[in-house]
Amino acid sequence: MKIIVTNDDGVAAPGIATLVGALDAWARAGSHEILVVAPATNYSGMSAAVSDVFGRPEVAYERTTIASAPDVSVYALDAPPALCAILGALGTFGLVPDLVVSGINEGANVGRSILHSGTVGAVLSAAQLGISGLAVSVQWGESIHYDTAAALTVHVLDELVRAPERTVLNLNVPNVPVSEIRGVRRARISMAEVVAAAGPLAGGPPLAHSGVLPLAMGAATPMIGDVSGEESDEDAHLVEAGFAALTPLLGPHENSDPALDGVIHRSLEVISDHLRLAR
């Protein structure tokens, strides 16, 4: 098995160091191969962005090392995680991967924060190229148990490589020692509350011609907030309860909900009428 490892916290982050160390030991035991292609700096919150590829059609890179696995090849790119995953998936660095593993992220990626996560965006981007992936995050805390998330990760990989192409899994792990994990559950994406920025619509004073806005992107980034209104099988609730949460994700695809048929048909009729009148 060949694996590309990336993240959104940057190649020097402790999460990716712990992950690569665990994967290196696992790879040596099973004749697997890993390669790190990660952002040179922090690109958190970038989702699946690939940056200004038209204004800057080249990507700078540098060979480096990760102390936990000094023999593993590591490339630090001046690029967000999604572009790192794409370049890695295309075989740019001499290895065409079977899987892309992204993380370990500092802070859970649950609820609505999944949409904005660079950790998740990397594996969704790889899936668009037919490569399965695993995004790994650990709950925030003063002292983070990256080792717990790394230990759980290696147990998922053998199953993931046997899964259908484009399978994407999102693993969120409580910030506790392995011995204190209550178990692992399949999770649904929660509806973590989004806190709006202060402004006219939020009851604040009218905005000046220019200035700065307080930014609050949601309770789940990086801390998990109040989960009292969530169901017991939702990701944030499970992590807060001490369970690792494993959620299958699906990237961009057609919305085939029959309830939308009427909207689509009426829209087609309106557009067709407009085109006829324009002729």
Question: How many distinct structural domains can be found in the chain?
Answer: 1
**Within a domain: 142:** yes
**Within a domain: 135:** yes
Chain segment 178-219, per-residue pLDDT in tens: 999 999 999 999 876 544 444 555 566 777 888 876 665 554
74-77 β-sheet, strand order: 61-64, 74-77, 33-39, 2-6, 99-106, 132-138, 168-173, 244-249, 184-186
Average pLDDT of the segment spanning 79-85: 97
Chain segment 107-162, per-residue pLDDT in tens: 999 998 899 999 999 999 999 999 999 999 999 988 999 999 999 999 999 889 88
Question: Can you give the CATH number for the domain in which 149 is found?
Answer: 3.40.1210.10
Chain segment 237-272, per-residue pLDDT in tens: 999 999 999 999 999 888 889 999 999 999 999 999
**Within a domain: 275:** no
**Within a domain: 219:** no
Q: Can you give the pTM of this predicted structure?
A: 0.90
Angle separating helix axes 118-127 and 81-89, nearest 10 degrees = 30
Question: Residue 69 has what pLDDT?
Answer: 97
Question: Residue 220 has what pLDDT?
Answer: 46
Domain enclosing residue 143, as ranges: 2-188+225-249
